[in-house]
Structure 1
């Protein structure tokens, strides 16, 4: 039994990343579930909510670029730990958005700036801090995966830990409405925001780089480092300074970043606007929304793992890692292309029809995401993995911010002209084609994988 446990210690690390990502998504999902309550209490428009969510995404995007460099410099263990403390504090202070907004509006008034309400200003501050901390989750998790898994297992490991985002999205509607109903909306931010500190204890105890990890057997360490000698020099690569300017000269960087820019916004739309969509379209709120959202995000968890399995299936059939992932991703793009065009035409049957169809599209996104993330570690050395993930994450966050901003404007416009269904149709249609467009761009920029050597991207 002891031998079996040690042989598979890399999956213990994957479990840690899974739970860290679960908490990450729990914290960011609280606001969307409380949106109907806060919208009524503070008289927000769709544009107000769009601005609040866009600020989170812009903060997330900008600091994800820095987070990648920060994690590469600090190392995975310290970098992830610091980020978790920041985002947990950011999650908790949402409960104090109103006093923060009052102070901030007064200061802005003295400086000659005005326009935003106290509540919008306070939530913007909280979302900004949350975005700063949460930006490091995926650069750190992808780097940890590259450290602990050989290439053929990385998409599966990424799919598993990435499914934590879906579990977080499932747990949020099971807990947030209940907490808000019995203890007030502030309690949801405080209690859920505090969960990260319990995870932090486990992270500090159980994580270390493979070459320093005493719980690894020699056999498993050799397996982890089995890809190639150029890919295993984790300790030596820490001495190199990766050049962002050099990274931006590679088509591989732009391929990854543009794919994130075009598709991440779809997931952000699902995450931040679905509770509002179900509320306004079908008048679901509070406990009514728990079951449909739980079913939807349970579907996405399966999609994330299946996406990792699908690319591993093609790799085991003889495809190179990148080629196997691209083949899997092509099939994945067909799912949202079909189902999202059906959401509005079939929504009159029952609210369960759009829930299932959007669930299929969201599952496809998670399958897509598990593979897109892994293309970075397929092509770039470990020393640059977090930086590349950060660059792509910044692009994805910017795409998400644009989606949130314009979705708010679109929904307000079509609400004013009393045709909200057309607004939903336009947004779902744009989401449907995003993945195929992204795949075509990736294929044009990088038709075949070319492994980038550490010497090509460092200032030596």
Structure 2
């Protein structure tokens, strides 16, 4: 019998639930980007109109993350995840009724004496806002569940696995959404994909509970999970025990640990948003690829990112086995990962040979992002106690969302400007350059804030609760 079998493996069942939730999360948010070329023609959207709709999601998502993190810490993982997926599933379905919603918005605007807005744009913005509020709960709840069910040495690997659900969602979407839309209409695509979340809620209700109350979790596995709870860390002072408490936002914002995590999110989250929201339009605008023909290149690209997510989550364990501290191992892994996106700089110069070259190069960059993200997300649980993780992830998510809004809006403006000049490739070259360099810049800032060998200490009452 292996050591893993002797300990038990129920924690990986929980990781599987988080994986499927993240898959559904990305399925729901990806529907719009896949239908964007067709919807842009149907409703006459410019790139800036589409950017406004996408940026509305990112902005609301960012604001919601700040508060959702606190809600997750307050309500607990089980209930908060239920609420999150119920809201985002309803938001996904609401896209199908966006024209009605847009008309209602204009009715309200008319009553208030405000100018009308394009019906389709208003309706999709409202639906995206509902989706964003719900989806904001996914990662704070998933990271908290990972902190509850995994010891520190396994957390980035577990995060890499559940985070790869984003890639599976991105793979499944181009394989299903264009077909559903072509046969039954774009409204049906939003309804059917959105309804999947309600099925997941049944499994979550049955299989998840806090580890101490989980009847399916053996004593040996529970002891293994909690083995490093009291283990001292080099950056945590060994003061006498202090009462557990949740740190307030201002206290968290006064710590360099928070800013290292949050600025890492701010500089790099926008890259993933760009790849997620703009790749279908990039393939359509640059290579005139129809939505139904995008399934293969997008499937290949997002399959690559799944490998990156899992491999990136595993990479720090190699350095941990060599004797590095958990956080130092994480930073070493992230530095190596940060060099891979540089290949995206070649996407435009070599794109004239075949569209498969930018697909593969962007796939490498997107894979690196997922590897980076698996480690960056885990630094929150490395540096803070479990009962503050949701709040820290929320703060980082806020800055990451703001970064995403800026990238999306910049992309829309650049593509409209250079598209009008007949040089849209220049606009994409500018955006790809940012995507290539963002990770090295982010790593450098994180390293300045927190040298791995000298992590600033937490307040005593927080450190003892870790």
TM bucket normalised to smaller: over 0.9
C-alpha spacing 1:356/1:256, structure 2 compared with 1 (3 Å)? same
2:438 is the alignment partner of 1:434? yes
CA contact (8 A) 2:72 2:390 kept: yes
- 1:388 is aligned to 392
Q: 2:314 aligns with which of 309, 312, 335?
A: 309
- Picking from 296, 300, 305, the partner of 1:300 is 305
Whether the 8 Å CA contact 1:230–1:453 is kept in 2: the answer is no
Residue equivalent to 1:398: 402
> Conserved in 2, the CA contact under 8 Å of 1:378 and 1:451?
no
CA RMSD, Structure 1 to Structure 2 (Å): 1.8
User: For the residues of structure 2 that align with 1:5 and 1:97, how far apart are their CA atoms?
Assistant: 53
Q: Is 1:148 matched up with 2:152?
A: no
Contact 2:7–2:220 (Cα < 8 Å) also in 1: no
Q: How far is the alpha carbon of 1:276 from its aligned partner?
A: 0.4
Corresponding residue of 2:290: 285
1:19-58 equivalent positions in 2, closer than 5 A: 19-58=20-59
1:72 and 1:238 in contact (8 A); partners too? no
Q: Report the count of equivalent residues.
A: 452
| Corresponding residue of 2:328 | 323
**For the structure 1 residues 289 and 211, does the alpha-carbon distance in structure 2 shift closer, same or farther, using more than 3 Å as the test?**
same
Deviation at 1:114, TM superposition (A): 2.2
Shift of 1:297: 0.2
How far apart in 1 are the matches of 2:21 and 2:367?
Answer: 20
- Paired residue for 1:227? 228
CA distance in 1, matches of 2:321, 2:129: 43
Q: Tell me how far apart the structure 2 counterparts of residues 62 and 140 of structure 1 sit (CA, whole Å).
A: 16
Asked whether the equivalents of residues 73 and 387 of structure 2 are also in contact (C-alpha less than 8 Å), the reply is yes
Q: Is the contact between residue 256 and residue 456 of structure 2 (CA under 8 Å) also seen in structure 1?
A: no
Shift of 1:241: 3.3
Question: Structure 1 191/127 Cα, relative in aligned 2: closer, same or farther at 3 Å?
Answer: same
Secondary structure of the structure 1 residue equivalent to 2:395: helix
Question: Contact 1:67 / 1:136 at 8 angstroms: preserved in 2?
Answer: yes
Judged with a 3 Å threshold, the aligned counterparts in structure 2 of structure 1 residues 120 and 349 are, in CA distance, closer, same or farther, namely same
Change (3 A) 1:329 1:105: same
TM-score in terms of structure 2 length: 0.94
**In structure 2, how many angstroms separate the alpha carbons of the residues matched to 1:114 and 1:404?**
25
SS of equivalent residue, structure 2 residue 353? coil
Of 444, 447, 450, 1:446 maps to 450
User: Please, which moves more after superposition, 289-298 or 110-119?
Assistant: 110-119
Gaps of 5+ in 2: 233-240
Moved over 4 A (4+): 3-6, 236-239
Residue from 264, 272, 280 that aligns with 1:275:
280
* 2:335 counterpart SS class: helix
CA shift digits 1:121-159 (9 cap, x unpaired): 000000000000000100000000000000000000000
